[in-house]
Structure 1
Amino acid sequence: MIRTPLRPLARILEARAKGENPDAIERENIRLRHEEERDRARKRAEGRLLVLGVVFFAAFSVIGGRMGVLANSEPAEPRISVAGADIYAQRADIVDRKGRILATNLETHSLYAQPQQMIEPVRTAKALVKIFPDLKEERLIKDFTGKRKFLWIKKKISPEQKQAVHEIGEPGLLFGPREMRLYPNGTLAAHVLGGASFGREGVHAAEVIGVAGIEKFYDERLRNPAEGHKPLELSLDLTIQAAIERVLYGGMRIMNAKGAAAVLMDVHTGEVISIASLPTFDPNDRPRPPTEGNPSDSPLFNRAVQGVYELGSTFKIFAAAQALELGLVNAETIIDTSGPMKVGGHTIGEFDRKNYGKISVSEIIVKSSNRGTGRMALQIGPKRQKEFLETLGFFEPTGLEIVESKGGKPLLPQRWTDLSTVTISYGHGLSSSPLHLAAGYAAIANGGTRIRPTLLKQDGPQNGERVMSPATAREARTMLRKVVTEGTASMGDVPGYAVGGKTGTADKPKERGGGYYKDKTITTFASIFPAHKPEYVLIVTLDEPVETSGSKPRRTAGWTAVPVASEITRRVAPLLGLRPEIEPAQFSGITLTSN
């Protein structure tokens, strides 16, 4: 930039020659210079204001746009997290078919210690033992006075316990927020729910994960934020579950059994309305799995799903139904059940050495004849028998939505011989769970279509594959009804509800060395109701029952499982919305004439 001198020599000389004051030239030049600098400063300020205005406009535009996006988005709950990887502590509720809570979350606290911040570690240890008697005072003192910088004392504590710890007044005792899994109904439906525990843990959060039952089966679904914490709706009915567990427990005690199981299932939808296994446990305080002994002795063992037993004569109706379906017999076909009967070098006998002689297929089921059922099975043959039982689901786990169902795979004979065909026809040589049996009876009850049990509430009936014709299913139901009115399950009738069913008594196999106990049985009653238009199937199984009201102990299903099942039906049928009805009468001996 070229600067103009304030006193230019040429103008100064010219002014002096004219007699003018040279200082006036300098003042004029100073004024012009100041005006030029002022103009430059104004332009510079105007430029800065323009840039600042553009910056403010852009910032407000971004903020306004973000506020618009937030205003139009769905609200979301903030998640508890710690430094590093996020720990998702929230977990969806589990509810029954009517929306009643089976499992939910409860806000609580954990208790941890930072020993280096403690003032009186010994006094603190003694005070904590008074609040938590399960803690060891010596161990706490050793931890508090050692070199540890952090230790957990309790992973979850109650509000009362938290207040008591507060009153100790020790700055080294600290609390962390927690969400714990709560089962407000205690032991009710414990084997279905399974239980939950803590996974990844931090000071300010802990991950709740399923460890068994449906909690583990649907663990990802229950923890998935994309589900919006929508409750998992089960097919169970809390009221009916409570009623069945109460009656089953009473029956187990009265019949001196070591265990019991019950399954109530809708024959059209496959919904499990109730499933119980005794002894049971509280999922709020789930016991540790056994490390020795028989797993079935543990309360964690689910007898209804994991319990794979020979279910005795309850299988006879399947042999009769298949023979009817193949056209080999009808309900009135006479079969000679007289002995002796030998198959594969083994003698087939009857219970209590009875001999029923020549009786109809219907009477074979009513009287529960082993030889009669076995002779029908030989007509069917091993290959066709295997195919039929496979279509009913007896070759694979039930697929129920709990992790334990995988362990309930039926035990099949290594070689399916004629002897296997005969013994399986009356429930020996093939072991399955009570839930398998419920699915098989549901196919008879619903008119001949296969049913797959489910713990999830359904919108309508299943459309399973057809395993028998409606006519065959109807004939089989008639036979089951006669078992209750005329046969071995006479104590199973419930006035107004037309129960049909079949008893089954199987000697219990020995754990070691093979063979069977002579004084230990598994008794089962498989029932459907109402028999003329079935809606539900009920299976009741007792482990080692003994009925002792008579002069000698009785261990058969008719004396043990049947009365328990009858009482369950009497209790739950009204709860299911079934109104008692007068059973349609048989118009025998009436001759119709024309007018």
Structure 2
Amino acid sequence: MLDARAKGENPDRIERENLRKRHEDIRDRARLRAEGRLVVLAGLFFCAFLVVGVRMGAIAASEPAEPRAQAAGAQIAAARADIVDRRGRLLATNLVTHALYAQPPMMVEPERAARELVRIFPDLDEERLLGWFAGDRKFLWIKKKISPEQKQAVFDIGEPGLLFGPREMRLYPNGAIAAHILGGARFGREGVDAAEVIGVAGIEKAFDERLRDPARAGDPLRLTIDLTVQAAVERVLEGGMVMMNAKGATAVLMEARTGEVVALASLPDFDPNDRPRPLTEGDASNSPLFNRAVQGLYELGSTFKIFAVAQALEMGQVNPSTMIDTRGPLTWGKFRIRDFRDYGAQLSVTDVIVKSSNIGTARIAMDIGAERQRAFLAGLGFTEPTAVELVEAPGSKPLLPPNWSEISTMTISYGHGLSASPLHLATAYASLLNGGHKVSPTLVRGAPAARGPRVVSEETSAIARQMLRQVVTRGTASFGDVPGYAVGGKTGTADKPRLKGGGYYEDKVIATFASVFPAHDPRYVLVVTLDEPVETSGREPRRTAGWTAVPVAAEMIRRVAPLLGLKPEIEPLAPTGVTLTSN
């Protein structure tokens, strides 16, 4: 200021200029600070929007999954091997389909979507759907399996919140045929993009691990059953069950020498494509899921008589012409054993079987004794569950008397006091009649099994077959004769036990016919059992196996024998005892 005055300049003007410059400097610094803050804030907003955009893109590009408990990173294996019959024909396979799910937050018109879904799927409830769509759920399943037509109809709704997930479901192309053998499958662990298919019964469950093995997905499981024969057996059995007014029915067709099950049927049955729910109360046998051939434990009546006679023959106690006292009733304590009709004072061992004498069989069993009878029946498989490859088999152990007394020995000899399944009976008949070698029942085709231990001699086996053949030609199973196939067999009619209170029904029976054909060259064993049959063509209702189970079995043999490759043939004559010699 002093210099300005010395030079003659105005000090006030200089002060004002200095002040202006200071204010401009302050303003410039403030503007720079504000611009820096705006740049930082813009960068923060840009990063935030970038993160949100990336996340939204990732969500949009991925499939949502229903929450489920599983190990981190676990993958759902959807592949499952096919099941085929002995000729390679398809019994069970996989079908690619879709599941329908919803994401309510993405829905635009939930009311319209609910209304249209009920139109496509009448079993859905519109109010419930609306409740789900309006709730807090972000994901919900609507249908686990839909057809291509249903998928297209849902797609046409145009609702962005209705989405589809790929599925590989189990398909049984033959419907109810072989239902109790196959069992069925359901979904296990599920995700949006895959679902695990697991077996719930039958072969599907017994071989679940093998069928689900990804390494064997292309290797079908081959069964011993023949699809054509199985279908024929089921059709005849169903007709017979209706004609004989039976509550249920079962049939087992088995190769006599190998134990391979060619057909196994149980009625009523079900469609494994739409498997019904199991019963939660009442008698389990009333459910169509109940496998009567394996799970049904019945007193099988006079079909057991051949076992007592075969054992006595094997022990050398009798021969076919040995005369047996058949006078009755046979008394043991308070028990009375009677025959269906009076057969006279004596019958030969052969006629004890042909005429089905309870008294004659009981007397033969008394000579055998309880311990030896039990050991013989155990050798035929009547004391343990069958080894067949069904998940239901291990729980089907025969019901044995708690005390195998002499009276038990007598009643068991004619099929009362011991309950077993029709599959047990078929296995025992095959073992007895195939030449005397024990077989084990199987449903899985594989390498030929080694010959089982001998249960009776070849001679005893041949005599037993001759006796059973005479039961058909001149005995209680005369309706079972099929020209050209030399059927042999034994009838069995057992009173049905009451479920409550003990004792037996007076008008309900289990009727069984166990047969072998051809009797002179045993190839197949067939067991047919009817639950509570009544034949009503005559003046009085008839319930015995000769009138009910036998005609059904005969028709079955007539139908399936040609399918099995058996040609009708003339039965060889019985030996005459004369030997031709040359000079």
Report the counterpart of residue 560 of structure 1 in structure 2. Answer: 548
Taking the aligned partners of 2:526 and 2:477, their CA distance within structure 1 comes to 14
3-state SS, counterpart of residue 550 of structure 1: coil
Letter in 2 for 1:540: V
Report the counterpart of residue 265 of structure 1 in structure 2. Answer: 254
- 8 Å CA contact 2:188–2:195 kept in 1: the answer is yes
- CA shift in 2, pair 1:562/1:443, >3 Å: same
Question: TM-score, normalization: structure 1?
Answer: 0.85
- 8 Å CA contact 1:82–1:202 kept in 2: the answer is no
The one of 208, 212, 217 equivalent to 2:201 is 212
Letter in 2 for 1:116: P
- 8 Å CA contact 2:180–2:289 kept in 1: the answer is yes
Taking the aligned partners of 2:486 and 2:343, their CA distance within structure 1 comes to 29
Shift of the alpha carbon at 1:268? 1.1
Shift of the alpha carbon at 1:368? 0.3
Taking the aligned partners of 1:207 and 1:247, their CA distance within structure 2 comes to 37
Shift of the alpha carbon at 1:399? 1.8
Unaligned stretches of 5+ residues in structure 2: 1-69
- Most deviating of 452-461 and 322-331: 452-461
**In the alignment, is residue 424 of structure 1 matched against residue 409 of structure 2?**
no
Shift of the alpha carbon at 1:407? 2.5
- CA shift in 2, pair 1:107/1:589, >3 Å: closer
**In the alignment, is residue 165 of structure 1 matched against residue 154 of structure 2?**
yes
Report the counterpart of residue 386 of structure 1 in structure 2. Answer: 374
The one of 231, 239, 246 equivalent to 1:242 is 231
Report the counterpart of residue 471 of structure 1 in structure 2. Answer: 459
Report the counterpart of residue 59 of structure 1 in structure 2. Answer: none
Report the counterpart of residue 542 of structure 1 in structure 2. Answer: 530
Unaligned stretches of 5+ residues in structure 1: 1-80
Please give the per-residue CA displacement for 1:133-183, whole angstroms capped at 9, x wherever unaligned. Answer: 000000000111111100000011000000000000000001001000000
Report the counterpart of residue 351 of structure 1 in structure 2. Answer: 340
Please give the per-residue CA displacement for 1:233-263, whole angstroms capped at 9, x wherever unaligned. Answer: 0001000000000000000000000100000
Taking the aligned partners of 1:588 and 1:473, their CA distance within structure 2 comes to 19
Report the counterpart of residue 41 of structure 2 in structure 1. Answer: none
Alignment of 1:168-207 (within 5 A): 168-207=157-196
Shift of the alpha carbon at 1:82? 12
The one of 436, 440, 443 equivalent to 1:448 is 436
Please give the per-residue CA displacement for 1:68-103, whole angstroms capped at 9, x wherever unaligned. Answer: xxxxxxxxxxxxx99831000010000000000000
Letter in 1 for 2:326: T
Shift of the alpha carbon at 1:456? 0.8
Taking the aligned partners of 1:337 and 1:584, their CA distance within structure 2 comes to 32
Please give the per-residue CA displacement for 1:3-49, whole angstroms capped at 9, x wherever unaligned. Answer: xxxxxxxxxxxxxxxxxxxxxxxxxxxxxxxxxxxxxxxxxxxxxxx
Taking the aligned partners of 1:98 and 1:455, their CA distance within structure 2 comes to 13
Report the counterpart of residue 146 of structure 1 in structure 2. Answer: 135
- 8 Å CA contact 1:245–1:276 kept in 2: the answer is yes
Report the counterpart of residue 427 of structure 2 in structure 1. Answer: 439
**In the alignment, is residue 516 of structure 1 matched against residue 504 of structure 2?**
yes
Please give the per-residue CA displacement for 1:357-378, whole angstroms capped at 9, x wherever unaligned. Answer: 2111001000000010000000
Shift of the alpha carbon at 1:444? 1.8
- 8 Å CA contact 1:339–1:355 kept in 2: the answer is no
- 8 Å CA contact 1:94–1:231 kept in 2: the answer is yes
Report the counterpart of residue 294 of structure 1 in structure 2. Answer: 283
Report the counterpart of residue 305 of structure 1 in structure 2. Answer: 294
Letter in 2 for 1:171: P
Aligned Cα root-mean-square deviation (Å) = 1.5
Taking the aligned partners of 1:369 and 1:505, their CA distance within structure 2 comes to 12
- 8 Å CA contact 2:323–2:346 kept in 1: the answer is yes
The one of 240, 246, 271 equivalent to 1:282 is 271
Report the counterpart of residue 338 of structure 1 in structure 2. Answer: 327
Aligned length: 514
Taking the aligned partners of 2:106 and 2:72, their CA distance within structure 1 comes to 22
The one of 349, 353, 367 equivalent to 1:361 is 349
Report the counterpart of residue 106 of structure 2 in structure 1. Answer: 117
Letter in 1 for 2:465: R
Please give the per-residue CA displacement for 1:104-143, whole angstroms capped at 9, x wherever unaligned. Answer: 0000000000000000001000000000000000000011
The one of 484, 487, 499 equivalent to 1:499 is 487
Letter in 2 for 1:238: L
- 8 Å CA contact 2:495–2:508 kept in 1: the answer is yes
Letter in 1 for 2:297: V
Shift of the alpha carbon at 1:445? 1.9
- CA shift in 2, pair 1:475/1:587, >3 Å: closer
Taking the aligned partners of 1:592 and 1:203, their CA distance within structure 2 comes to 81
Letter in 1 for 2:395: G
Question: TM-score, normalization: structure 2?
Answer: 0.86
Taking the aligned partners of 2:122 and 2:401, their CA distance within structure 1 comes to 53
**In the alignment, is residue 460 of structure 1 matched against residue 454 of structure 2?**
no
Taking the aligned partners of 2:312 and 2:157, their CA distance within structure 1 comes to 77
Letter in 2 for 1:448: G
Taking the aligned partners of 1:557 and 1:536, their CA distance within structure 2 comes to 20
Taking the aligned partners of 1:594 and 1:181, their CA distance within structure 2 comes to 68
Report the counterpart of residue 480 of structure 1 in structure 2. Answer: 468
Report the counterpart of residue 400 of structure 2 in structure 1. Answer: 412
**In the alignment, is residue 107 of structure 1 matched against residue 96 of structure 2?**
yes
- CA shift in 2, pair 1:551/1:495, >3 Å: same
The one of 91, 94, 98 equivalent to 2:87 is 98
- 8 Å CA contact 1:445–1:535 kept in 2: the answer is no
Report the counterpart of residue 245 of structure 2 in structure 1. Answer: 256
Taking the aligned partners of 1:250 and 1:457, their CA distance within structure 2 comes to 29
- 8 Å CA contact 2:79–2:217 kept in 1: the answer is no
Letter in 1 for 2:403: R
3-state SS, counterpart of residue 522 of structure 2: coil
Taking the aligned partners of 1:320 and 1:382, their CA distance within structure 2 comes to 14
- CA shift in 2, pair 1:229/1:591, >3 Å: closer
- CA shift in 2, pair 1:551/1:115, >3 Å: same
Shift of the alpha carbon at 1:345? 3.1
Letter in 2 for 1:233: R
Report the counterpart of residue 571 of structure 1 in structure 2. Answer: 559
3-state SS, counterpart of residue 518 of structure 1: strand
3-state SS, counterpart of residue 562 of structure 2: helix
Shift of the alpha carbon at 1:571? 0.3
Shift of the alpha carbon at 1:408? 1.6
Letter in 2 for 1:260: A
Letter in 1 for 2:557: T
- Most deviating of 327-336 and 458-467: 458-467
Letter in 1 for 2:236: V
Report the counterpart of residue 50 of structure 2 in structure 1. Answer: none
- 8 Å CA contact 1:267–1:535 kept in 2: the answer is yes
Shift of the alpha carbon at 1:355? 3.4
3-state SS, counterpart of residue 403 of structure 1: coil
Shift of the alpha carbon at 1:585? 2.1
- 8 Å CA contact 1:399–1:406 kept in 2: the answer is yes
3-state SS, counterpart of residue 105 of structure 2: helix
Letter in 2 for 1:217: A
Shift of the alpha carbon at 1:588? 5.0
Taking the aligned partners of 2:228 and 2:87, their CA distance within structure 1 comes to 10
Please give the per-residue CA displacement for 1:445-481, whole angstroms capped at 9, x wherever unaligned. Answer: 2111111100011433541111111111111111000
The one of 54, 61, 77 equivalent to 1:88 is 77
Report the counterpart of residue 398 of structure 1 in structure 2. Answer: 386
